[in-house]
Amino acid sequence: MADPIVEMKDVNKYFGSHHVLKDINLEVVPGEKIVVIGASGSGKSTLIRCVNGLEPFQGGRIVVDGHPLEPGNTSKTSRSLQAIRREVGMVFQQFNLFPHRTVLKNIMLAPMRVRKVGRNQAEETARRLLDRVGIGNQADKFPTQLSGGQQQRVAIARALAMDPRVMLFDEPTSALDPEMIGEVLDVMRELAAEGMTMMVVTHEMGFAREVADRVIYIHEGQIVEQGPPAEVFDNPQSERTKAFLSRVL
Ligand code: ADP
Ligand code: MG
């Protein structure tokens, strides 16, 4: 197997006295698609937020593309953290677009500021990415003028503009009206087919079954079960996994 691009080793995370991630060990190889499932409050968001240093953690070690994160170096000034932020794209449930910038500017900003890409080149890339997510004609609009599904596709284009090596998605379709879920999942399917390394938290079990190389079920901050979707969904080993799946499938 290839060397992992994301490695979590004995990661422990507390919010105050609340132990939310317990000895998480997880390796993701380049091109692998991981889907994380579990009940609300089980630690899914916290787990993927740790991967790009959005959450400090108290024990263990995370290495992304050779850049280590440890409990002591998750401050903003850490070089390792800055490198990881450049290489890891993140898409949130609530889009998080800049409301006072056009769609085009939303996509151009980070490459210009962080990667020091020139304006013309940033614009060219932004337009190409908007075409790729199917909304090339919305470049000059402001986020609120778009539907939720279109805003989420902008958010994906914005993350891709940094040319990430890993993409994290935290329930990217949970805030969308049902008729818009498909258009966002389609973009994610294409990205998967192109070989992107992806870690996706989602309740879309159809997507998980189709796209995931590996499904990870977490319960109260622990990885209880993992495996190919056909195994986890059709032949779960743990009683907890069975109980969870019987509620969501
Ligand atoms: P999930 O994404 O699976 O719903 P989270 O990772 O958001 O779960 O949360 C895991 C646990 O950590 C929950 O009990 C949640 O209430 C708690 N938690 C999450 N974020 C914070 C925070 N910023 N401060 C305190 N507790 C938090
Ligand atoms: Mg969450």
**What CA–CA distance (Å, rounded) separates 135 from 80?**
34
Nearest partner of 105 among 88, 73, 127, judged by Cα:
127
Q: Give CA–CA dist 181/183, Å, rounded.
A: 6
From the CA of 111, how far away is ligand 1's center (Å)? 30
Rounded Cα gap, residues 92 and 74, in angstroms = 20
For residue 177, CA distances in Å to 141, 160, 181 come to 21, 24, 7
Return the structure tokens found at 155. Answer: 């958010």
Phi/psi for 224 (5° steps) reads -90, -35
- pTM of the predicted protein model: 0.97
Residue whose Cα lies nearest atom 21 of ligand 1: it is 15
Residue whose CB lies within 8 A of the most ligand 1 atoms, among 20, 201, 244, for a mutation test: 20
CB 61 within 8 A of CB 9: yes
ipTM higher than 0.90? yes
Q: What is the pLDDT of residues 101-157, one digit of tens each?
A: 999 999 999 999 999 999 999 999 999 999 999 999 999 999 999 999 999 999 999
Confidence of residue 73 (pLDDT cuts 50, 70, 90): confident
Nearest to 55 by CA among 36, 39, 35, 69: 69
Confidence of residue 40 (pLDDT cuts 50, 70, 90): very high
